[in-house]
Every structure is written in C-alpha cells, then in structure tokens.
Amino acid sequence: MWEYEIWGNTVQTWIVSILIVAGAFVVVKLLSLLGRKVVKPFIGRTNNRVDDIVYYSVEAPLKFAVMLLGIWIAIHRLVYPDHLVKYVDNAYRILIILDITWVLARLSTALLQQYWGHRSDGQGMKMMPVVRRTLLVLIWIIGLVTALSNVGVDINALWGTLGIGGIAFALAAQDTVKNIFGAFTIFTDKPFGIGDTINVNGLEGTVVDVGMRSTRILGYDRRITSYPNYKITDASIVNISSEPMRRVMVKLGLTYDTGAEKMKEALEILRSLPAKVKDVSRNPSDTTVYFSDYTDSALVVTFFYYIVKQGDVLKATSDMNLEILNSFSQAGLRFAFPTRTLFVQQDGGESRNTNS
C-alpha cells in the first residue's frame, strides 16, 4: 500500500509531504501564540516604539514565509516533470521577493506614521493618506519589477510594451491622472486639511479623507460626498476652519413711525447685545451697527457681529436673534412688514385709501 504510486509518487511520499505542510501550519499557529503571550506583552512594557513597529511589520510576512518554506519542502520531495519544476521555482522566487516587499511596505508606512504623521504642527497627519498611498505604490512597483526581473522577464521590453499602450491608456485615464495631480496640489498648496470645514462651490462640510482620486466631505446632513480632486483644485474654496471668527450680518426693518430718538435707542441696544450672548466677540471693534436704508416699507438697520472661532455658530446666532427680539419688544420698537396703500374711486367722485 505504501508503495502504491499516484502521479509518479508513492503514497508514503504524498503523506510525508502533506504532514510537512501541516507541520508548517502548526508552526505558524505556535508563532501566533508565542507572539500573543510572550512577545507582545514584553514589547508593550518598553518605552520606545521601534520594537512595536518591527514586530508589526514582520509578524504576518514571517508566518507567510514559514508556510512558503513548508510548501516548498513538501513540493520538492515529489517527482514531477522538469518544466513544472521551473515554473514552481520561478513562482517561489516571485513570492519570496513579494514577501520581502510586504515587510518593507509595512515597516516604511509604520515608521512614516510614527515619526512624520505625528508632527506637532498637524500637517503630517493631514498629508498622511496621499503620502502613505504613494509610498506603498512605489514600494510595490519596485518589488514587482524586481520579482519579474529575477525570473528572467525582460523589463526593458516590458516597459516598451507598456509605452506603446500607454498613449491609449493615458487618453482613457485623463481624469484619473488629473485627480492624482490634484491630490498633490491639495497637499502642497494646503488650502485645507483633514478635519477642516470647507465650502466648495456651495457644498459645505468637513473633510474626512483626501485620496488619490477624490476628496470625501461629510455634509451637515451626515452624508459623505466624494468630490473629484481636479475639480476642487479648480474651484473657489472657503476654509471655514481657518477663519479667526465667523461674521454674521443681520438686517432689521423698523416701522416708519420710528422716530430719531427711538432709532438711536435701537442702535445702542444692538451695540450692547454682544456682551450678553455666549460665544460672541465682546470687542467693540468687532461690532458694527448703522442705520443703512430707507426701503418701501421699513427703516433698515444693519448689524454685524462676530462669533469666536471655537463657538457654536448655530446656537450663538439663535441666542442673538432671541436677544434682539426680546430687547426690541421691551423698548417698544416694532418690526416692519410689507405694506401698500390702495386708492379707490367712489361713484360720487370721492376717493378713499386703504392700507394693507
């Protein structure tokens, strides 16, 4: 029974090869257990972050390498045609180089996150998504090219083939290329960063991610909108988060029976209100009040005030409007509403007017 052959190999040879693969799987499980019970608690007690980064970078690729080694030993114990041996060896060369590339990719991005993403000026974290993705793409391209070159692929011929088809590809991917350059423009020009509240062509919300293709904005309705990067770079962007304070303009229409003294009282009331409302600047230079217009139905007062940077804009605006309403009501100041006068000709030749 043990000498019975299947595809040119005895049953015993097949069983031993299967046991080798199973043994490699068991070793991987033991490595996971060792890492969870011994290595992680040990490096967790150290003060530096380098050992954590190295462990994170090597753990998964090491397990993959152990499985590759076990499968390689198991396969090379078997007898199979020479042309298949070449394909298997080439596949393993590619997989080994890609495994090393995996380590380098994880290590480089972890180091980038630790030592550049946590910069005190906050710019590292804002630029991290695009920089990280760009670095990963470069590392994997280099790894893939190295792997193909190692198995005898003519890289120059490959680049030439890609160059011939590159023109058609470039024409088909114009928007993608523009979006990639748009992403780099965003992070070099820095009109905004992740976490900033911006307004782009009427779309207002918080930037939650800047990718290679698009920028994702979380609107006030809690919906995420993906905005193409090249359109953002061509648009007029208002960075609301960067403004030192939010200016609010209020136009108030008073009735035409408001006398000069009452108008002065209204102006004084408005000048005093910023001191009564939370999150509104109390600096007198930040408050502007003036009697601005005579309109068809009202005497218009224009009132400017500022809400401080960290203030709740909606609540402060509501509180200010309530203070205006309450203060004007107590002072006997009446708000105007549109009116019109109609002249009606009576049959006897008399006329009368009605206001509405």
Burial status of residue 146 (CB atoms within 10 A of its CB: 0-12, 13-18, 19 or more)? middle
CA–CA separation, 21 and 87 (whole Å): 20
| pLDDT per position as a tens digit, 205-257 | 888 888 777 888 998 888 888 888 878 877 878 887 777 888 899 999 999 98
Average pLDDT over residues 12-23: 86
Q: pLDDT, tens digit, for every residue of 153-163?
A: 766 665 565 55
Confidence of residue 342 (pLDDT cuts 50, 70, 90): low
Which residues on neighbouring strands pair with residue 245, listed in sequence order? 308
- Helix 174-189 × helix 123-150 angle, to 10°: 140
The pLDDT tens digits of the residues spanning 177-207 come to: 676 677 777 776 678 888 888 888 888 888 8
Residue where the block lists tokens 């919300």: 205
Q: Which residues of 65-76 are buried (b: 16+ CB within 10 A; e: fewer)?
A: bbebebbbebbe
Q: Is 249 helix (H, G, I), strand (E, B) or coil?
A: strand
**pLDDT band at residue 352, thresholds of 50, 70 and 90?**
low
From the list 243, 144, 235, the residue with the least C-alpha distance to 186 is 235
* Under 8 Å between Cβ of 193 and 207: yes
Over its C-alpha atoms, the chain yields an Rg (Å, rounded) of 36
Please say whether the beta carbons of 272 and 314 come within 8 A.
Answer: no
The 10s digit of each residue's pLDDT in 262-271 is 999 999 999 9
Secondary structure tally for the chain: helices H, strands E: 10, 12
Confidence band, pLDDT 50/70/90 cuts, at residue 346? low
What pLDDT, on the 0 to 100 scale, is given for residue 59? 84
Q: In angstroms, rounded to a whole number, what is the distance separating the alpha carbons of residues 9 and 28?
A: 27
- Among candidate residues 324, 309, 224, 223, the one with its CA nearest the CA of residue 267: 324
CA 270, 273, 278, 284: dihedral to nearest 10 degrees?
80
Three-class SS state of 152? coil
Asked if 31 contacts 63 with a C-beta cutoff of 8 angstroms, the reply is yes
* pLDDT bracket for residue 89 (50, 70, 90): confident
The count of residues in the chain is 356
Give 255: exposed, middle or buried? Use CB within 10 Å, 0-12, 13-18, 19+.
Answer: middle
- Residue 340 identity (one-letter amino acid): R
| Side-chain half-sphere exposure of 227, counting CA atoms within 13 A | 31
For 35-77, where are the alpha helices, taking DSSP H only?
Answer: 40-44, 50-76
What pLDDT score was predicted for residue 168? 53
With CA atoms as reference, report the closest residue to 124 among 193, 62, 72.
193
Please state, as a whole number, how many other Cβ atoms lie within 10 Å of the Cβ of residue 44.
Answer: 9
Q: What's residue 129's pLDDT?
A: 67
For the stretch 104-114, pLDDT in tens is 888 888 887 77
Label residue 274 exposed, middle or buried (CB < 10 Å: 0-12, 13-18, 19+).
buried
The more confidently predicted of residues 166 and 264 is: 264
Average pLDDT, the chain: 80
What is the rounded distance in angstroms from the CA atom of residue 154 to the CA atom of residue 106? 28
Q: Considering the chain, what percentage of its residues have pLDDT values greater than 90?
A: 20
117-121-125 Cα angle (round to 5): 30
